[in-house]
A and B are shown apart, each in its own frame.
Chain A
Amino acid sequence: MVFISLQGVSYAYNGRKEAAVKNISLSIGQAEKIAITGLNGSGKSTLAKLILGLLKPQNGKIILDGRPVGKYSLVGVGEKLGYVLQNPSQMLFNTSVYNEIAFGLKWRGKSKNEVHYLCKRYLDLFDLWDLRYEMPFNLSDGQKQLVAISAVLALQPSYLILDEPTKSIDTFRKKKLKDILQEIWRRGTGIMVISHDTELITGFEGRRIHMSKGEVVEDAVRYTD
C-alpha cells in the first residue's frame, strides 16, 4: 500500500532561480526502508521537508496516507511521521533531557507511569539516562543528536524520517543506531534515512534513492553491498 506519494513535485526556495527539488515522483510504502543519498545541496533535506508539509511545493502533489499533505495540520503529520531534523539542536526546547523525551508523550495523553517507563527505556538506548537532569543545550553535539533521535523514537511513529542522523555520533553509537533502526523496521515501522555516511548506509538493505541537483537519478532495491 502506498503511504507517501509524490507526483511531479518541484520546489524552489524564495529568490532562487534553480529549483532545489525538480519534478520528483515517488511512491513509498508504509513499511518500506529507504536510504536517500546525494551530495551536499542535492535537495535531500528539502525533499523531507516537502513530505512533512513544512514546505509547500510550487508544482505537483504530495499525498500522505491517502490525503494531500497540505490538508493535515502539523500535529496531524506528527501523528503519521516521526522526523529528526538535520540540525537536532533546533529540535530541543525543554529544560531537561528527561522532559525532552517526556514532552511529546505527555501531550499525547500517556499516564505518568507510562511516560516514566518510556523515558527510561528510550534514554537507556544510548546511555543517556544519567544525563536526564541536564539542560539539553549544554550537551555535546553528539549527545544532542541522540536526545533528539530518542525523543522521536519514544513517540513510536509508524514512519520515521531521519535527516543525517549520524552527523556527530561516534562509531559505537552509530552501530547501535543502525541495529535499533533495523529492529524497529522489522517490527513494521517504515524508515527513511537521509545520509551520506557510508558506515550507516553500507549493509543498509532496502531501497536506495540517489539524488543529484534536485532530481532522483537512481532508485533501486539493494540487498547487499
Chain B
Amino acid sequence: MQLDIRTKLFIAAIFSVLALVYQNPIMLAIVLVLNLLALILFRMPFNIFFGFRKFIYMYVILIIIQSLFVKSGEPLIQLGNTYLLTTDGIFYGISIILRFLILAGSGLILFNCNTSELLLALVKLRIPYEIVFMIQVGIRFIPQFTNELQNIFNGIQLRGVDLRKVYKRKVIRVYISIFTPLIYSVWQKAEKLSILLELRGFRKFPTRTYYREIFLKKIDYVVISFVLIITVAIVYTGSIL
C-alpha cells in the first residue's frame, strides 16, 4: 500500500498516544497487536521485534525494580520487610515493556520512508522550515558521525590500544582521545555548513519551492478514517474495562 507519509505519521502518532495513555496491560496488549498488524499491512520489517529478545534480562530487572518501589499489590516473594516481587510490580513492569514495544513499533511504521518525504510532510504540517532544516541536517549527519567515530576507534586500535584491555584509570584518557576530536570536528562542520548556507543564499527569500510534491490520495483518507474508527473503539472498550 502506497500511503502518504502524513498518513503514516498520523498512525504512528495515534499508536504512541495510546501507548502513553493506557496503564492497563490488556489494553496495551491490544494496541500492540494492532500495531503489529499495521506493520504487517505496510510490509514493514517487523522482524526487528525479535531482536528485543536480547533485552529480556532487562525486562526482568524492570519488573523487580517496579516491585521494590510499587508498594501496592500482593507480595509474591518477600524478604523480611522488603517485597521482591509483587502482583502490581509485575503489572506495571509488563505495562512498561508493552509500552516500549508499541513505541518502537510506531517508530518502525516510519522506518523505510524516504527522509526527504518525511521532511516535506513536516513542512506541509506547517512546521517552520528552519526547524525542519535542523532535523534534516541532524538526520543527514548521523551516519557520518558514526562513521567518523568508527574510524577513530579503528585508528586507536590499529595504533596499539586494545580497548578491551585498557585499565580503568586510563579508560578516561582513551575516551577523551575519542571524543575531543569528534566534538571538534562536529564544531568545524557546523561552522563550515553555516558559511556554505550563507553562500548559497539560505533564507534569503521568504518562500521556497519544493522539487517533490506529496498528495493525500483517496486511500489515505480511507485509512485515516479507518484508524480513527478503530481508535474510538479501543478508547470505548478501554473505558468500560
Contact = CB atoms under 8 A, between A and B. Distances in A.
A52 B157 CA distance: 12
For A78, A136, A151, the residue with the greatest tally of chain B CB atoms inside 10 Å of its CB is A78
A152 B156 CA distance: 11
B177 A74 contact: no
Contacts of B157: 73-75, 78
A108 B184 CA distance: 27
Given A54-B154, A85-B151, A137-B184, A93 B160 contact: no
B154 to A, nearest CB: 6
B240 to A, nearest CB: 49
Nearest to B178: A93
Interface in B176-192: 177-178, 180-181, 184-185, 188
A183 interface: no
A78 B184 CA distance: 26
Given A73-B162, A107-B161, A137-B181, A93 B188 contact: no
Nearest to B158: A78
B181 A107 contact: no
B156 A90 contact: no
A91 interface: yes
Interface residues of B, number: 19
A151 B159 contact: yes
A92 interface: yes
A79 B185 CA distance: 28
A83 B151 CA distance: 12
**Residue of A79, A104, A107 with most partner-chain B CB within 10 A:** A107
B177 A107 contact: no
B156 A79 contact: no
A224 B184 CA distance: 45
A104 B177 CA distance: 12
Contacts of B185: 89, 137
A21 interface: no
Contacts of B107: none
A168 interface: no
A107 B152 contact: no
Contact of A75 (B148, B160, B184): B160
A75 B155 contact: no
Interface of A: 52, 54, 73-75, 77-79, 81, 83, 85, 87, 89-95, 103-104, 107-108, 135-137, 151-152, 155
Interface of B: 148, 151-152, 154-162, 177-178, 180-181, 184-185, 188
Given A91-B155, A93-B178, 8 more contacts: A74-B157, A78-B158, A81-B158, A90-B148, A104-B160, A107-B160, A135-B184, A136-B181
